[in-house]
Amino acid sequence: MAELLLELFCEEIPARMQPKACADLERLMAKALEEASLGFETMTAYATPRRLALHIEGLPLAQDDVKEERRGPRADAPEKALAGFLKSTGLKREDLEEREEKKGTFLYAVIERKGRPTAEVLGEAVPHIIRTFPWPKSMRWGAASSSLSSLRWVRPLQSILCLLDGAVVPFEVDGVASGDETKGHRFMAPDAFKVTGFEDYKRKLEKAKVLLDAEDRKEQIRKEAIALCLVNKVGLQSDENLVAENAGLTEWPVVLMGEFDEAFLEVPAEVLSLTMAKNQKYFTLLGEGKKITNKFLCVANIEASDGGRTIIAGNEKVLSARLSDAKFFWDQDLKVTLEERLPKLNDIVFHEKLGTLANKVEFVAALGRTLAPYCGADADHVEKAARLAKADLVSNMVGEFPEVQGVMGAYYARREGLDEGIAQAIEAHYKPQGPSDECPSNPVSVAVALADKLNSLIGFFSINEKPTGSKDPFALRRAALGIIRLIVENNIRLPLGLFLQHQLTLIGDRGFGRGADVQVIGSAFRTSKKQKIPTNLPYDEPTRELIEFFADRLKVQQREKGVSHDLIDATFSQDRDGDFVRLLGRVTALQHFLNSEDGANLLTGYRRAANIVRIEEKKDGKSFDGEVNPDLLSDAPERALNAKLGDVRNALANALEAEDFEAAMRALASLREPVDDFFNDVTVNSDDARLRENRLNLLSEIRNVMHLVADFSKIEG
């Protein structure tokens, strides 16, 4: 078995493109080998700023020989049929074999193909891969760039190394011929050298100051960074993305420490970190109390003769200019209050059918007031925070660093002396933005975050802009998951279904989403802040769609916690006002119940009863859901079951009212024995029509009583 080493050496490959380039090279080569019927044992791609390499082990030196038999026409077939068969096989008439069969004598072609050498296959496959490589951005260069047929590559391709078991695989791509040479570090080892295989290649590269494997470069960055931090008694702000990016920018990473003027520490820490990481690829260093210090780490791509002093000085100078800009933005922003920024929100369109950002703020503020009592928050603080939450979007800082939206608003609010709860709510109103993101717990923060996300869902569903398939341009799925977390993790008893219907009714009364002036948004929802949510509103279609959307998101969230989707369906159908806290309490109890022996057996009994009733209803063309006549209960087991059903119905009513779902499950469990006895001893389809109908009504009552807890027909398995 043979080894393949391929290296495509070029000018700097952007760090962000390197991981995908490795994956694409492996994918394209694996496809080419599969099409050529060439197997392999292992394949690994590597990338540095100046090279894309591939190492394959376990390649055969040649394709297997192939012997193929094809059955042709009969021996006495017309000439045209014979000619067509000969053309398809590439043989002559005398090369065919005649074989006697039951239906006559037929012609057979026996085709033998000698397997091609692997080097020959690779000599065709590699140039094709190079020419069709899917770089996100590529270029042409030199005199050949005037031709649209010339090679496109991420950066000018300088050399190709391609060895199969140490021998060069010969081919050429746009004047670049394959060979056995490569180069090391651009500055520290620029001369070309020959290699004989992968181990020799990797060893010589390291000697030439190139770490081929990105993981080795990452580890070197981590190791040197930690060592410098220990010596200087500072902490490293963890950022694995920044480690990976620096590994993609260097072939021989050298970590250096610099510092900046302490006066810049007046600028918010988040902005300092972003300036260093985003613009300069520097690491933030922390001191006591994990506060940011005026020191930073940068990663050079060279071992400088002066120990890096010149490099550090240059980086300090560049960073000083960047931080000066940030401080200027900060100082300018402090001259304008959040309230004074609000008129500018009228100039920002949130959505053409939903109005401006100012309209959204009005909407969110009114929703927040309505939600405040459910969250245990001060309604005035909620409205104030909601009105100011988007104001920092028109600040200089957020204009430069969109990542700090909300965070900067909180800084400005504290500088203005606003209540701390309001400042926290401004900072946290976008949260949680994912399953690992922190969920707000401050009541004002929770109310504003809920209002902001509900605003998006209500608004976009009202104008029929709903997620479809994998498309979710307005991140409504993430908003719904955030709402679920806010409600469940803060134990908020909000009847979400009724709440949504109430808000959508207010919108509908004013024609929102049906061509009305978008200015009605604020007035519609401000009227809601003094209204209680009715408990008897029927759900219209938009509300049903939203409820189903939330149910789907809840199933996604709970699946990660080990809860089967059918339990959500079974419970949601019986608890449709959308109180997620109560619903999940019921789901948990139901899951424990069904995992017990009583629960599993009762589910079997339920299905048997439901199936019998369904079959007989179809046969008779009528429903068996009437009252059970106790005078027609002739057998002891059916009398016992009827009595137990009455007791369980009463017990369930009390338990569900008290939200004691464990008690409700215990009540259901008590049905197991009488249900089993009924099926063991009672014939449902009695010859007496009156007894039969009464017993079918009794089976239907089993279903009705159990449905007080959940729709057991939706439970799978």
Q: What confidence score (pLDDT) does residue 514 get?
A: 33
Residues 32 and 93 occupy one common structural domain: no
Q: Is residue 567 part of a domain?
A: no
Domain end marker among 307, 333, 359: 333
- Domain CATH for 35: 3.30.70
Residues 387 and 515 occupy one common structural domain: yes
Residues 705 and 676 occupy one common structural domain: yes
DSSP state of 620: H
Q: Is residue 572 part of a domain?
A: no
For range 403-407, the mean pLDDT? 94
Residue whose structure tokens are 């922390």: 286
Whether 530 shows a pLDDT value over 90: the answer reads no
Look at the pTM and tell me if it is higher than 0.85.
Answer: no
Domain end marker among 207, 222, 254: 207
The mean of the pLDDT values for the chain is: 90
Q: Is residue 570 part of a domain?
A: no
Q: What confidence score (pLDDT) does residue 316 get?
A: 96
Q: What confidence score (pLDDT) does residue 142 get?
A: 87
Residue 528's pLDDT band, with cuts at 50, 70 and 90, is very low
Q: Is residue 497 part of a domain?
A: yes
Helix (H, G, I), strand (E, B) or coil at 51: strand
Q: What confidence score (pLDDT) does residue 690 get?
A: 92
Q: What confidence score (pLDDT) does residue 508 get?
A: 58
pLDDT, one tens digit per residue, over 459-509 is: 888 888 889 888 999 999 999 999 999 999 999 998 888 888 877 776 654
- C-alpha 265/C-alpha 325 separation (Å) is 13
Q: Which domain holds residue 461?
A: 339-562
- Cβ-Cβ contacts under 8 Å for 71 (sequence gap 6 or more): 106, 107, 108
Residue whose structure tokens are 């026996």: 110
Q: Is residue 439 part of a domain?
A: yes
Residues 228 and 281 occupy one common structural domain: yes
Q: Is residue 236 part of a domain?
A: yes
Q: Which of 329-333, 526-530, 615-619 has the highest mean pLDDT?
A: 329-333
For range 245-267, the mean pLDDT? 96
Residues 202 and 248 occupy one common structural domain: no
Whether 193 shows a pLDDT value over 90: the answer reads yes
Residues 156 and 136 occupy one common structural domain: yes
Q: Is residue 548 part of a domain?
A: yes
- C-alpha 71/C-alpha 78 separation (Å) is 16
Of 99-113, 229-243, 286-300, give the lowest mean pLDDT range. Answer: 99-113
DSSP state of 361: H
Q: What confidence score (pLDDT) does residue 462 get?
A: 83
Q: What confidence score (pLDDT) does residue 534 get?
A: 54
pLDDT, one tens digit per residue, over 628-684 is: 999 998 889 999 999 999 999 999 999 999 999 999 999 999 999 999 999 999 898
pLDDT, one tens digit per residue, over 81-91 is: 888 888 888 78
Whether 419 shows a pLDDT value over 50: the answer reads yes
What the block records as the tokens of 161 is 């190394």
pLDDT, one tens digit per residue, over 348-389 is: 999 988 889 999 999 899 899 989 999 999 999 999 999 999
Residues 92 and 177 occupy one common structural domain: no
Residues 268 and 399 occupy one common structural domain: no
Q: Quick one: which of 132, 135, 186 has its CA closest to 158?
A: 186
Q: Is residue 577 part of a domain?
A: no
Helix (H, G, I), strand (E, B) or coil at 114: coil
Name 8's bridge partners.
Answer: 52, 160
Domain end marker among 207, 226, 259: 207
Domain count, the chain: 5
What the block records as the tokens of 656 is 């569900």
Residue 531's pLDDT band, with cuts at 50, 70 and 90, is very low
- C-alpha 694/C-alpha 523 separation (Å) is 57
Residues 84 and 158 occupy one common structural domain: no
Of 63-72, 166-175, 528-537, give the lowest mean pLDDT range. Answer: 528-537
Q: What confidence score (pLDDT) does residue 357 get?
A: 93
What the block records as the tokens of 686 is 């009695």
- Domain CATH for 641: 1.10.730.10
Amino acid at 70: R
Of 409-418, 524-533, 592-601, give the lowest mean pLDDT range. Answer: 524-533
Residues 465 and 486 occupy one common structural domain: yes
Of 295-299, 469-473, 572-576, give the lowest mean pLDDT range. Answer: 572-576
Residues 428 and 536 occupy one common structural domain: yes
Residues 108 and 124 occupy one common structural domain: no
Q: What confidence score (pLDDT) does residue 76 get?
A: 82
Percent with pLDDT over 90 in the chain: 72
